[in-house]
Each structure stands twice: as C-alpha cells, then as structure tokens.
Amino acid sequence: MPRIHLHRLAVADDAIDVNRHVNNLVYLHWMQDAATAHSTAQGWPLERYLAAGAGWFVRSHFIEYLQPAFAGDALLLYTWVKGMAGRTSARRYLVLREQDGVAVAKAETLWVFVDFRSGRPVRIPPEVVAAFPVVPDDDAELAALTPRRPAARRARS
C-alpha cells in the first residue's frame, strides 16, 4: 500500500484549452482521479465508503501552476496525505513532466469526511485513519521527488 501514490497521465488533445496548454479544470479532474486511485489502493474503494455510509467531500482546492503542460506530454501525478485530524484530511499533489522531471503543478485539497444521510461532517473512523499514513513535509521519500528546475531560457539575440 503506497504512502505516496503515483498516477501516470498522458495529456490528450481534449485536455488542451484555447491557450494551447492543459486547461485548469483538467487538473482538478486528475487530482480527484488520483485521490480515488490512492484510496482504492489503500483498501477504500467507493463501494466501501458507500457501505460505511460516509465518505470524502472537497472543502477547498489550491493549485499552483508552475509550467505549462501540452498535448502528448507524459505526466507523473504524485499524491499523499499530508495530515488527518478530526473530520478533515489535507492531501497534497505534485505533477511532474516525465520527460525532464520538471514540476508542472503542485496542489493541495482539504477533504471533509461526511455522513451521506445527514450531509454533515463526521469524525473520520479509526479504520480510515489507519489506512492512510501521513507523509510529513520532511519525509525522505517525498524529498526524493523534489523536481528539477527548468533550464533557464537564453535571451534571443
């Protein structure tokens, strides 16, 4: 069960917007897919949440776009749980371009655990907490993912 989950992406033509790079809404979709895949890998697929009668809802997203991504790019989207307490869990994401290891985006989502019947936040059950190891900011495995900086562009003469 991975503490840091890798979600591989191939940028399709339909992910591109009028500015000729990946549309910002596509990143949100990718982040949700990666979080769902990580949850499934940790033993918590959608069906298990449905059986439990509670699951995750997004409270907020923050995305910092660092470099554009384009059609045909292969991307590596890493995700991990930054923290979990009470009714909320912070999840982080790092998107790297596979070809050169350059960071394309970094993000964080604050998730809230919600009872499906009442629609109200509830305490995260111990079995859910146990399934998702928290990865601290100073984690060695996380540090190894530290992206390379893009090469400086030379001025045109």
Domains, the chain, ordered by start: 4-135 (3.10.129.10)
pLDDT band for 150, please (50, 70, 90 cuts). low
What's the confidence (pLDDT) of residue 1? 74
Closest listed residue to residue 52, CA positions, set 151, 1, 124: 124
CA atoms of 53 and 47, how far apart (whole Å) = 10
The Cα 92–Cα 81 span in angstroms is 6
pLDDT of residue 149: 59
Using an 8 Å Cβ cutoff, are 2 and 37 in contact?
A: no
User: What was the pLDDT predicted at 146?
Assistant: 73
8-state DSSP, 14? G
Distance CA 66, CA 24 (A): 12
How far is residue 16 from each of residues 20, 25, 69, 85, measured CA to CA in Å? 6, 10, 9, 37
Report the chain's mean pLDDT, rounded to a whole number. 93
Report d(CA 105, CA 77) in Å as an integer. Answer: 9
- Distance CA(41)–CA(31), nearest Å, equals 15
For 42, half-sphere exposure in the C-beta direction (CA atoms, 13 angstrom radius) is 25
Q: Give per-residue pLDDT as tens, 46-104.
A: 999 999 999 999 999 999 999 999 999 999 999 999 999 999 999 999 999 999 999 99
Give the residues across from 107 on adjacent strands.
63, 93
